[in-house]
Amino acid sequence: MNETETGRHPAVFLDRDGVLIEDSGYPHLDEHLVFTPGAAEAVQRLNRAGFMAVVVTNQSGVARGMFTEARMHAFNALMVRTLAARGGRISAVYACPFHASAQDPAYQHPDHPDRKPNPGMILRAAAEHDIDLKRSFLIGDRDSDMEAARRAGIPGFLFEGPNLDVFVRDLLGG
């Protein structure tokens, strides 16, 4: 069945740091936005194959007091705009600023349902965007990403570099 028959969309859930962008250690400033090789092309390829691209990212830098939630949202918006200018469409970004050892009590949570390895961001995105999890998968670079995918009932694929477009091409079978 395709999307028009089910009314639901397949999606690829993408981790941000280490998958879409280089993980430079809590990237949040505009100058930190460095895409992994093949990132824009990979998102284009996923879009052409009929997948919504949804970013799911832990952002404990907010909880740790390294940057504000507003700065996190501004950085994510810049990433989405820059990818769009390069032909890749991100449909939604879900970011979890909570952490068990937060400096800011507003972001302290012992095990937030959105913080990977918990599946909260994936499940919320599925509900809010009519995503068919049976036809969706996740690409991440950590065991916590793989565990979040498992808990959401979707396949998870571990990206270890170097080129995201080659990785996606191989996943999609050419």
Are 55 and 92 in contact, with CB atoms under 8 Å apart? yes
Catalytic residue among 15, 114, 145, 165: 15
- Gyration radius of the chain over CA positions: 15
Strand partners, 138: 13, 156
Residue 107: CB atoms within 10 A of its CB come to 19
Cis link prior to 162 (omega < 30° from 0)? Answer: yes
Burial of 166 (0-12, 13-18, 19+ CB in 10 A): middle
What crossing angle do the helices spanning 39-48 and 69-85 adopt, rounded to 10°?
70
Q: Look at residue 130 and give its three-state secondary structure.
A: coil
To the query of whether residue 23 is one of the catalytic residues in this protein, the response is: no
Q: Catalytic site residue 17? A: yes
Which residues are known to be catalytic?
15, 17
